[in-house]
Amino acid sequence: MTNPQQEAIIDAILADSLAKQEQKGPDLRQLHPKSHGLLWGEFIIEENLPETLQVGVFKTVRNYPVWIRFSNAGGLEERGKFKPDKEPDVRGMAIKLMNVEGEKVLDDEEKTQDFVLVNSAIFFLRNLQGYVDLAKLQKGELDPASMSYELGLLAKMNAHQVSNPLSIHYWSTTSYQLGNQAIKFSVSPHSDNETSHSPADSENYLREAIVNQLTTEGKDAYFDFLVQLYVNDEKTPIEDSTIEWQQTDSPFVKVATIKIPSQIFNTEERKRLDEGLSFTPWHTLPEHQPLGVLNLARKKIYQEATRNRREHIQQRLREPQPYDQNDS
């Protein structure tokens, strides 16, 4: 639970977030707006898991159908215009399991379980105040020197060289429940996901790399879904996501395989479906509930930003507008 001071900070972060959304386009996705592709696949639970890990979606051996969205975190510059892929950025992977039975923490989706990841093992902000300071910094109201630690971590997150979203490692950065345990989760690509096609001079070369592998070459992609177990507050802190959980302290344990079959996905119909989906760590069974105050902030911010966007999408659909081929 959050205290009144934390709630006030979350409300301030939300107000700033909605103001930015209104400025760029209230019907447009604000978080991770540039998609490299929405893909369908399978989430295959491992056999013979230790009993302590047989919780929630991992309780029984089965295959879940999934939607997977790869993205850039960088903000939308204007309608239909994104930062080129060759610019430094954080890359995201969002997974939505379908046909998940059981009561959910949020009631806006009945049978889904979301896992949200980025290609960094750590987050660059320690606490809620970091969001407030970052907003002030972006408005020129704060000396950058006062956030040198956070900005250094952000630069490190942005510095990863990426040739293909199907060939990089992703992490949850924040902590989650697995029944009565605390964990972090991660997704690791199989070595043969890499493709030789890497047109890094293109603004959209990351989407083109996925098209080349899954559609042109007709080659499936595979990932391992892994968890790390909490050890103690010093080695595996829950509240400070700037500290990486080291594998020497908490080794990865594989709990599922992700299969993304070869497919045709670079279509207007798939792009419209992509834009209509929302991903949040709070689309979850209680057994996988997010932990820590940063995740509590994400619950309210993601909910309100998504609700606001969907309302404006419906309004936009009701109003005749000229077709814009870049609005996808």
Cα 302 from Cα 310, distance rounded (Å): 12
Q: What is the mean pLDDT of residues 198-214?
A: 86
Burial class (CB in 10 A: 0-12, 13-18, 19+), 187: buried
Contact 83, 68 (CB under 8 A): no
Burial class (CB in 10 A: 0-12, 13-18, 19+), 40: middle
Of 9, 72, 78, nearest to 36 by C-alpha is 72
Helix (H) or strand (E) holding 205: helix 205-210
Can you read off the two tokens belonging to residue 272? 């419209």
What was the pLDDT predicted at 29? 75
* Angle between helix 4-24 and 128-138 (nearest 10): 40
What was the pLDDT predicted at 327? 37
DSSP state of 124: S
Indicate if the pLDDT at residue 110 is higher than 60: yes
Contact 97, 214 (CB under 8 A): no
Burial class (CB in 10 A: 0-12, 13-18, 19+), 121: buried
Indicate if the pLDDT at residue 208 is higher than 70: yes
Highest-confidence range of 11-15, 129-133, 176-180, by mean pLDDT? 176-180
Asked whether the whole model's pTM tops 0.85, one would answer yes
Please list, in sequence order, all residues whose beta carbon lies within 8 angstroms of the beta carbon of residue 147, skipping any fewer than 6 positions away. Answer: 130, 133, 134, 137
Q: How do residues 241-264 score in pLDDT, each as one tens digit?
A: 999 999 999 999 999 999 999 999
Work out the number of other CB atoms within 10 angstroms of the CB of residue 286: 12
Please list, in sequence order, all residues whose beta carbon lies within 8 angstroms of the beta carbon of residue 265, skipping any fewer than 6 positions away. Answer: 37, 38, 39, 40, 210, 211, 214, 215
Helix (H) or strand (E) holding 22: helix 4-24
Mean pLDDT of the chain: 88
Q: What is the mean pLDDT of residues 255-282?
A: 95
pLDDT band at 194 (very low <50, low <70, confident <90, very high): low
CB environment 141-168: b (16+ within 10 A), e (fewer) = eeeeeebeebeebbeebbeeebbbbbbb
Task: Name residue 45's beta-bridge partners.
Answer: 256
What would the DSSP string read from start to end of 265-324?
Answer: --SHHHHHHHHH----TTSS-GGG-B-SHHHHHHHHHHHHHHHHHHHHHHHHHHS-----
Please list, in sequence order, all residues whose beta carbon lies within 8 angstroms of the beta carbon of residue 301, skipping any fewer than 6 positions away. Answer: 10, 13, 14, 17
CB environment 195-234: b (16+ within 10 A), e (fewer) = bebbeeeeebbbbbbbbbbbeeeebbbbbbbbbbbbeeee
Cα 2 from Cα 16, distance rounded (Å): 19
